[in-house]
Amino acid sequence: MNGRLTRRPDDRTSILVIDDDHRMRRLLRVNLEQAGYRVTTAEDGPAALDLAELEPPDLILLDIMMPGMDGFTCLARLREFSDVPIILLTAKGEERDKVRGLDLGADDYLTKPFGPAEMLARVRAVLRRRQPSEETPPVLVVGDLTINLARRRVIREAEEIRLTPTEYRLLYELATNPGRVMLHGELLSRVWGPEYRDEVDYLWTYVRYLRNKIEPDPARPRYILREPGVGYLLAAE
């Protein structure tokens, strides 16, 4: 196993922190453990990949600017075998870095410097997306789409479609409300959390991702339809 790993095993929600700065790793670990999470740390990408495959965490905090394997490369490698929620940590805060990270499958990002309260709020919001409603049936069928909620699988015409956690959560919200226009703010609150209800760019980005994966022709969507200036709906046949 490459690099140095620090593990603190117990039965709490597990978070993997990947950052080459030992002070940042320590700060994140202390704040997360005080909030009740189990924290594992890795100082480089190769070590993180080994650990994430051996003992999959519930969430990953991943620094972009690391020597050797940078965060973008690590993110792409993680997405080859895992759909674990990932929050990127970046000191740049540049739009192109955020877009690139989201394109590679990140669920959210934090721009350094950030406070513990903001970091914990983002962690809670991302983890909430993993919890489906208990009142929803385990399998939803909309047109040619089959969504198995118990197994988190999406199938179209016998072909399984691999979605990131955020893509899945967005599809889940639309599919459990077929034929109903869901407002921008409503979708943002349900998928990302109430603190994101004005971040319309998040919604536009992930609707595009979903259409590219589930629509036979993304340029002429059949499933995810838009009500201009209002919101989106999943077409009900």
Q: Between 3.40.50.2000, 3.40.50.150, 3.40.50.300, 1.10.10.10, what CATH number should domain 139-234 receive?
A: 1.10.10.10
Residue ranges of the chain assigned to CATH 3.40.50.2300: 5-128
8 A C-beta contact, residue 58 and residue 87: no
Burial of 150 (0-12, 13-18, 19+ CB in 10 A): exposed
In this prediction, residues 38-44 reach a mean pLDDT of 94
Asked if residue 232 has pLDDT above 90, the reply is yes
Asked if residue 36 has pLDDT above 50, the reply is yes
In this prediction, residues 162-182 reach a mean pLDDT of 84
8 A C-beta contact, residue 15 and residue 7: no
The contacts of residue 181 (CB under 8 Å, 6+ apart) are 227, 230, 231, 232, 233
In this prediction, residues 141-156 reach a mean pLDDT of 78
In the prediction, which pLDDT does 134 show? 52
Asked if residue 25 has pLDDT above 80, the reply is yes
The contacts of residue 136 (CB under 8 Å, 6+ apart) are 149, 176
Give the angle subtended at the CA of 93 by the CAs of 103 and 7, to the nearest 5°. 75
Number of CB atoms found within 10 A of residue 47's CB: 18
Residue with the larger pLDDT of the pair 28 and 80: 28
In the prediction, which pLDDT does 129 show? 67
- When pLDDT is cut at 50, 70 and 90, the band that residue 9 belongs to is very low
The rounded distance, in Å, linking the Cα atoms of 125 and 193 is 5
- When pLDDT is cut at 50, 70 and 90, the band that residue 137 belongs to is low
Candidate from 30-39, 99-108, 199-208 with smallest mean pLDDT: 99-108
Residue ranges of the chain assigned to CATH 1.10.10.10: 139-234
Asked if residue 150 has pLDDT above 70, the reply is no
- When pLDDT is cut at 50, 70 and 90, the band that residue 88 belongs to is very high
In the prediction, which pLDDT does 1 show? 42
The rounded distance, in Å, linking the Cα atoms of 117 and 121 is 6
In the prediction, which pLDDT does 130 show? 64
CATH code for 5-128? 3.40.50.2300
Residue with the larger pLDDT of the pair 102 and 11: 102
Asked if residue 43 has pLDDT above 90, the reply is yes
**Which tokens go with 67?**
């020597």
Q: What φ, ψ does residue 74 adopt, rounded to 5°?
A: -60, -40
In this prediction, residues 123-131 reach a mean pLDDT of 78
Rounded to the nearest integer, the mean pLDDT of the chain is 84
Asked if residue 48 has pLDDT above 90, the reply is yes
The candidate with the shortest Cα–Cα distance to 165, out of 131, 211, 215, 114, is 131
Tell me how long the chain is: 237
Asked if residue 8 has pLDDT above 60, the reply is no
Asked if residue 7 has pLDDT above 70, the reply is no
The rounded distance, in Å, linking the Cα atoms of 192 and 136 is 19
Q: Any long-range contacts for 190-197 (C-beta under 8 Å, 24+ apart)?
A: 191/129, 191/166, 192/108, 192/125, 192/129, 192/166, 193/121, 193/124, 193/125, 193/128, 195/121, 195/125, 196/125
Q: Which of 12-21, 131-140, 189-198 has the highest mean pLDDT?
A: 12-21
